[in-house]
Chains A and B, each alone.
Chain A
Amino acid sequence: MSVLWPDAVSVLRRLALLALGALVWELVARSGMFSPIIVPSITRIGRELWWLAIRPESLVEAWYSVQRALSGFALAAVAGVALGVLMGRSALAAAVLGPLFSGTYPIPKIALFPIFIYLFGIGSLSKVVLIFLECLYPIVVTTQAGSRGVNRVLLWSAANMGASRARILWRIVVPAAAPFIFAGFRIALPIAMIVVIITEMISSADGLGYLVMYSLASFKTDRMLAVVVAIALLGVSLDWLVVRLRDRLVFWERLDSYYAD
């Protein structure tokens, strides 16, 4: 049995629940028990999805959401890895920043969104800042844990061979913590998607979250569900990209992910 192409029976067995769900949905939709507004049939959702995929206007909306999510995430990745490495390798930094992070970690940052709207305007910036803040925590926490656990022998040998502190951080600590850093990325990226959709649903005039609310308000539930499916596909493919990137960069450790089989 090859890893890439498992045999048809096992694929079927794995997707049985999904297929069953789709079948039940379609039967309920066709039976006429509910209005098509409440349970639109899968064929209609599929048609709307096709429309979403080929119309440039809807692609622009998706681009807005992706752009916001990725810019907040990228900022958090850079700042989070830097802070995490610092806190993992310096007792002083851990003592100063640690309580600040662990104290504010359980606070739902989404509550600050109204303040951010006043501070940064109702456009993209307030959303990006909130995404940055929400993504920062998991990345810092995992990076710190990873850079704390770096094998001492590696650090000693690097120091012995005359590497400077900055060089040790960049060449030893960051690669050694890379599996942890990527674990943080994989937690943070879905959070970025959640926050971008939430903020767009709460206050926005563009983006996929807005499109969801707009379709609902105009009772186009088939279109709304098509947008939901599109968001889902987007989330899965972004996660897939992170896993691919991780397997490229952290080639010495295999990730037990669901994309391999």
Chain B
Amino acid sequence: MGGPDMAPQTPQRSEAPRPSRGAPRQARGAPRSPYRLLALGVPLAMLALWQVASRFDHPEFVLSPIEIARHFVEALRSGELLPHVGASLVRSLPGFVVGSLVGVVLGLLAGVARSMDQLLSPVVFLTYPVPKIVFLPIVMLWVGIGDLSKIVVIALACFYPCFINAYYGARGTPTIMVWSSLNMGARRSQIFRKVVVPSALPLVFAGLRVSLALSFILLFSTEMINARSGLGFLIRQSESSLRFDLMYVAIVAVAALGYAGDRLLLLVRRRALAWQEVTSR
């Protein structure tokens, strides 16, 4: 189920508004049963190999998978982990929601209105390759060293992929559909709601997915740079106090959060784009 899901993320900005390219781009299909077994087997085999390898002489900072799992359960019980998870989510979710919402709305507007396009696009596309993390210090000076500075930087980083994908999504609306709805007497607002937004939706979700991944990257790096709580802080602190068990627990928690968030977004996308799944197959 994983492979084909990742494909829609591909067309980021340049290749976006180009639906068909010669060859039928059917996915090679979901893995059939012998392959599915293999797909499950390879990660399991790697874990097993890691477990076996850890029986031999190894440095102190390498833990075996079973040990990590045991420490994870322990940390969950003792309450060492959950407060940090909460602190991280309080920072990342508002940043992600605000940044991607503003990005999608402005991107759609810039995609349909020329005046917005000329106002916003040059600024957005020129500042797009700038690593947003560099704004953390200056934002820290303005709004303080607390959670707000992290939320602002995360929102800023989430803005860009959403804006760019929504922009190309809106611009890629088939002209014939706009013409037909005009012909049938639709108002501009109706066209925007019923034609432009749905046809931009696949790319909007691609942008949301990139933003979600970015929000986690930014979250952990801002927390590693300065924080008193959160998973990034936990990783950094347990590393410097040589508590490798806790470090691995935090890393696993980070991985689980990132994975769960991504799956949740894909689930929402599958529901929102149910019509597209039918037409594209």
Contact = CB atoms under 8 A, between A and B. Distances in A.
Interface residues of A, number: 77
Interface stretch (A50-58, A75-83, A159-167, A189-197): A189-197
A212 B136 CA distance: 10
Contacts of B22: 149, 151
Q: Which of A10, A91, A150, A194 has the largest number of chain B CB atoms within 10 A?
A: A194
Q: Which of A13, A142, A182 has the largest number of chain B CB atoms within 10 A?
A: A142
Q: Which of B10, B61, B255, B262 has the largest number of chain A CB atoms within 10 A?
A: B10
A179 B22 CA distance: 14
A95 interface: yes
Interface in B234-277: 235-236, 239, 247, 250-251, 254-255, 258-259, 261-263
Nearest to B261: A106
Interface residues of B, number: 76
B131 A197 contact: yes
Interface string A222-261: 0011011001100110110000000000000001111000
B135 A228 contact: yes
Given A194-B217, A197-B134, A13 B118 contact: yes
A115 B254 CA distance: 14
Contacts of A32: none
Main secondary structure of the interface of B (DSSP, over half): helix
Interface string B134-149: 1111101110000000
A146 B128 CA distance: 24
Contacts of B250: 111
Contacts of A96: 38-39, 42
A29 interface: no
Contact of A98 (B12, B13, B17, B31): B31
A110 B236 CA distance: 12
Given A145-B10, A193-B131, A197-B131, A115 B61 contact: yes
A224 B10 CA distance: 35
Interface of B: 2-3, 5-7, 9-15, 17, 21-23, 25, 27-28, 31, 35-36, 38-40, 42-43, 59, 61, 118-123, 125-138, 140-142, 212-213, 216-217, 219-221, 224-225, 231-232, 235-236, 239, 247, 250-251, 254-255, 258-259, 261-263
Given A95-B31, A107-B255, A231-B131, 14 more contacts: A15-B122, A16-B119, A95-B38, A96-B42, A110-B224, A112-B251, A115-B247, A150-B23, A183-B10, A197-B131, A202-B224, A228-B130, A236-B129, A258-B121
The 4 nearest A-B residue pairs measured at CB: A102-B2, A106-B262, A235-B129, A95-B35
